[in-house]
Amino acid sequence: MVGLFCKANSSEREVVISEENALVYKGQFCLPAPGKNWQWREGGFTQKVGVTHEAFFCTDLSTDLTFIFLWSKQKQTTFNEEFMGGFVRGYSQGMEGKGWKLAEFEITPSNIPWERSYRFVAEYTSAEGSRLSHAGLVGACEDATRLYTLMYHTFEAPDWKLISDFAAGLELLSGSP
């Protein structure tokens, strides 16, 4: 059953922001923004060996806090802590190019956005001694060929209630988690 936030007015576009401020993507999923003062925007599309990523950003217009939401399609059929370790290390390579070094990371099972999901936090340090946290949740569909990642960066402790409440709104419109 499609929730109130996931009803889009146009079936012509593949990506729609509904009147209720929810991201509705190709009839695949719907993710309502955390509040009325948030704004969605498309972030881009990348394709690497067997993996397609589409990024979207959701920004709180009053604080500039921005979440990154990634929808990934892949050939990978295993989704476990070992996979998540590779996910964090792969993302960290991009962070190193921006002057941040991975100091530590933690991956724990989660039931948000649904069973068989993972919560992660990676701590980075800069050459000047600044610390940055990269925190988020990753859920996979049943065969692990589609991943849904919601994450953000912060110089403070991650706000797990905000992340969890946001991710809990993710609704698959076709298929099962």
Say if residue 45's pLDDT is above 90: no
Mean pLDDT computed over 30-49: 85
- Determine, yes or no, domain membership for 133: yes
115: helix, strand or coil: coil
- The pTM of this model reads 0.83
Q: Side chain identity at 104, as an amino acid letter?
A: E
Domain count, the chain: 1
CATH number at residue 114: 3.40.1000
- Determine, yes or no, domain membership for 177: no
Kindly state the percentage of the chain with pLDDT values over 90: 45
- Determine, yes or no, domain membership for 109: yes
The domain containing residue 85 runs over which residues? 4-172
- Determine, yes or no, domain membership for 124: yes
- Determine, yes or no, domain membership for 147: yes
- Determine, yes or no, domain membership for 96: yes
- Determine, yes or no, domain membership for 122: yes
Mean pLDDT computed over 55-61: 93
Whether the link from the prior residue into 113 is cis, omega within 30° of 0, is yes
Q: pLDDT tens digit string along 99-151?
A: 999 999 999 999 999 888 999 999 999 999 999 999 999 988 877 778 889 99
What is the b/e burial string over 72-97, where b = at least 16 CB atoms within 10 angstroms of the residue's CB? bbbebeebeeebbeebbeebbeebee
Using only C-alpha atoms, what is the Rg of the chain? Answer: 16
- Determine, yes or no, domain membership for 102: yes
Burial classification of residue 144, based on how many CB atoms lie within 10 Å of its CB (0-12 exposed, 13-18 middle, 19 or more buried): middle
